[in-house]
């Protein structure tokens, strides 16, 4: 008899636990205002003009500040990169200078990023493409030099961006991140190669059909890149992001070096460099809050 009572009690406990877990999961899902795709580079090195390799990754504050803003505003970030592998931040970005000079703010940010369990298990861009973007309300691409190495020519990202563009969904990129928009060209690899060689005839021809032609945007400026080449990279990049986007057909608007600058044009939000992180995040949340929810956007399938 005692054994039967214990069995019944255990069964009731399991049922109650299951119902409680389901309730919490449903509550969590109901509280989410939508999923936002956060795309990172899989590259951990940037090839310089002299053949040297610069160790890189995503810029810590350009990633953490908007992601924290997303979470606090009730959105669910979903992390992805070309390979679907664990990525890291650029060591140069782990500096108090990007956090108002505060070592505590830097350490708090590192703790926040290291506590993002889903960042340890990112999706591949191919899997995102296979699923479709109907379930996402926006996309965010942080900078660091890494996007120059892979994101600007990634075919899966190009398809994702074209679909986001067609749907008019919020597309936000900061610092070197905007160069990833080049991936949406019909022949992004050819355009990249033409930039490497400086062949203007090929550049003009390959720029045809870019979805973002005529858009106003900003990106890491040429004076800022000159400073980075001297004081950080110890070498020269093959081409400048501002030149690449201008050649693709954008109207690039850069402000004085190292001053916050955010440009919004239609669904596109771009920011110039790390010191634009707070203004960038505010513009991102405002755009998402004013946008239709995923279920309100017609399916593209």
DSSP per-residue letters across 185-226: STTHHHHHHHHHHT-HHHHHHHTTT-TTTT-EE--S-HHHHH
Taking the C-alpha atoms of residue 64 and residue 157, their distance in angstroms, rounded to an integer, is 21
Look at residue 297 in the predicted model and tell me its pLDDT.
42
pTM: 0.87
* Secondary structure class of 256 (helix, strand, coil): coil
The reported pLDDT for the residue numbered 279 is 98
pLDDT in the model for residue 19: 37
What span, in angstroms and rounded, lies between the C-alpha atoms of 233 and 265?
Answer: 31
- The encoded tokens of residue 297 equal 């956007």
Contacts of 61 (CB under 8 A, 6+ apart): 93, 98, 99, 109, 274, 277
pLDDT of the residue at 245: 98
Q: For a pLDDT cut of 70, what percent of the chain falls above it?
A: 87
Q: Specify which residues 58 forms β-bridges with.
A: 89
Which pLDDT value is given to residue 31? 75
Distance CA 292, CA 301 (A): 18
Low-confidence residues of the chain: pLDDT under 50: 1-30, 294-301
Helix (H) or strand (E) holding 69: helix 60-73
Phi-psi region of 297 (alpha: psi -120 to 50; beta: other; left: phi over 0): beta
């Amino acid at each position: 008899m005692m054994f039967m009572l214990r069995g019944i009690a255990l069964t009731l406990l399991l049922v109650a636990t299951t119902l409680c877990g389901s309730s919490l999961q449903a509550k969590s899902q109901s509280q989410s205002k939508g999923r936002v795709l956060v795309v990172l580079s899989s590259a951990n090195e940037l090839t310089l003009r002299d053949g040297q390799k610069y160790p890189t990754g995503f810029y810590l504050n350009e990633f953490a500040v908007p992601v924290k803003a997303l979470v606090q505003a009730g959105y669910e970030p979903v992390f992805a990169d070309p390979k679907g592998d664990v990525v890291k931040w650029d060591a140069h970005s782990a500096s108090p200078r990007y956090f108002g000079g505060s070592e505590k703010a830097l350490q708090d940010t590192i703790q926040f990023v290291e506590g993002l369990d889903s960042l340890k298990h990112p999706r591949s861009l191919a899997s995102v493409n296979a699923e479709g973007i109907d379930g996402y309300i926006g996309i965010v691409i942080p900078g660091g030099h890494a996007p120059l190495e892979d994101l600007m020519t990634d075919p899966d990202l190009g398809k994702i961006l074209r679909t986001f563009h067609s749907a008019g969904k919020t597309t936000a990129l900061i610092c070197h991140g905007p160069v990833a928009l080049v991936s949406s060209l019909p022949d992004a690899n050819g355009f990249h190669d033409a930039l490497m060689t400086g062949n203007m005839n090929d550049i003009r021809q390959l720029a045809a059909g870019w979805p973002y032609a005529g858009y106003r945007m900003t990106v890491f400026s040429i004076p800022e890149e000159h400073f980075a080449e001297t004081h950080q990279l110890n070498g020269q990049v093959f081409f400048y992001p501002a030149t690449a986007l201008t050649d693709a057909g954008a109207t690039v608007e850069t402000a004085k070096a190292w001053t916050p600058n955010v440009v919004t044009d239609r669904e596109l939000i771009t920011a110039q460099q790390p010191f634009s992180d707070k203004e960038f995040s505010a513009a991102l949340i405002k755009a998402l809050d004013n946008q239709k929810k995923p279920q309100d956007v017609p399916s593209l399938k």
